[in-house]
């Protein structure tokens, strides 16, 4: 008897389309395209979803951010592809963006979770995005000297989706070396000034929250995410987790510097609470002239 071949894994686009019931293209397009590119939007609405790319969907990101009303059946056909492209770009450590807007910005400014999705769809999309972020945190990485893309995504994710407790807990288990490296990079921000940080080559590369929090997220982190971080981030927790991460990395190229962070975390225990408080304040009140606390 022949063994059955294992099932072919679904692609991100297939997974995202399944979240919305594998929608068909709309019969007609009545949505008012933001930049008056009506012909382009009409062609996009009838294009095979397998063949769409970032350039195609750039005009639709503008609609998602600014246009009211959005056409529901057009949204259900195009948005799943946008979601899948965001995940693909995340894994490649780059933005999925249109003109002057990123995908996370579009989700927030367009209020798409509330306007365009059912409760079940909203939960499914947020779960998909959480899984994608966790996978990106686990990718192989080295201590960086350039812009830290994942930190930008994590910081803005916390202002949009109340899933930081799940993401953080699975990130700081350190079941993959990439997670340990990312955690030590984050922890270093709570131990050193910009000029002292040994992980980053220059102070201008240190990703302070005020630099990576997108200016469009002017209301700060969601309260459940803030409450979790407030209760979780303590000196004891940080010292314990830095030691765990260093153990994971002891045979990796980052091992020597990781061991230094273990020692420094003990020597700097008096200043760590100040850095933690500064971080929580930045997340609650982003560095924006329009910033205000969230209810």
Q: CB of 45 within 8 A of CB of 77?
A: yes
Q: Band the pLDDT of 215: cuts 50, 70, 90.
A: very low
Of residues 3 and 75, which shows the higher confidence score?
Answer: 75
Instruction: Specify the pLDDT at position 220.
Output: 87
Least confident range of 91-105, 152-166, 181-195:
91-105
CA dist., res. 77 & res. 52, Å (int): 11
Beta-strand relationship, 97-98 and 101-102 = antiparallel
Q: CB of 168 within 8 A of CB of 205?
A: no
Q: How many CB atoms lie within 10 A of CB 46?
A: 12
Q: CB of 170 within 8 A of CB of 162?
A: no
The residues spanned by each domain of the chain are 9-137, 143-295
Kindly state the average pLDDT of the residues 252-258: 96
Residue 239 has pLDDT above 50, yes or no: yes
User: CB-based contacts of 262: which residues, under 8 Å, 6+ apart?
Assistant: 239, 242, 243, 246
Least confident range of 21-25, 141-145, 194-198, 232-236:
141-145
Over the chain, what is the mean pLDDT?
90
Question: Cα angle at 209 between 203 and 213, to 5 degrees?
Answer: 125
Of residues 4 and 167, which shows the higher confidence score?
Answer: 167
Q: Which residues of 64-91 are buried (b: 16+ CB within 10 A; e: fewer)?
A: bbeeeebbebbbbbbbbbbbbbbbbbbe
Render pLDDT for 271-288 as a digit per residue (tens, 0 to 9). Answer: 999 999 989 988 888 764
């Amino acid at each position: 008897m022949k063994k059955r071949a294992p099932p072919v894994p679904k692609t991100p686009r297939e997974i995202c389309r399944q979240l919305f019931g594998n929608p068909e293209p709309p019969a007609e397009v009545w949505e008012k395209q933001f930049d008056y590119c009506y012909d382009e939007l009409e062609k996009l609405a009838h294009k095979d979803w397998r063949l769409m790319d970032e350039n195609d969907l750039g005009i639709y990101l503008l609609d998602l951010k600014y246009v009211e009303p959005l056409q529901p059946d057009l949204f259900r056909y195009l948005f799943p592809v946008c979601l899948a492209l965001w995940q693909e770009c995340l894994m490649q450590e780059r933005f999925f963006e249109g003109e002057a807007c990123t995908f996370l910005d579009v989700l927030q400014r367009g209020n798409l979770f509330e306007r365009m999705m059912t409760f079940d769809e909203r939960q499914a999309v947020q779960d998909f995005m959480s899984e994608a972020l966790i996978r990106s945190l686990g990718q192989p990485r080295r201590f960086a000297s350039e812009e830290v893309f994942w930190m930008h995504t994590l910081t803005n994710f916390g202002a949009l989706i109340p899933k930081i407790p799940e993401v953080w807990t699975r990130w700081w288990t350190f079941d993959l070396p990439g997670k340990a490296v990312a955690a030590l990079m984050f922890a270093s921000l709570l131990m050193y000034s910009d000029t002292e940080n040994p992980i980053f080559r220059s102070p201008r590369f240190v990703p302070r929250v005020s630099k990576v929090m997108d200016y469009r997220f002017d209301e700060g982190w969601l309260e459940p995410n803030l409450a979790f971080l407030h209760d979780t981030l303590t000196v004891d927790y940080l010292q314990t987790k830095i030691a765990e991460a260093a153990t994971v990395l002891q045979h990796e190229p980052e091992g020597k510097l990781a061991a230094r962070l273990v020692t420094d975390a003990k020597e700097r225990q008096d200043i760590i609470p100040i850095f933690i408080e500064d971080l929580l304040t930045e997340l609650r009140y982003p560095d924006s002239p329009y910033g205000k606390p969230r209810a």
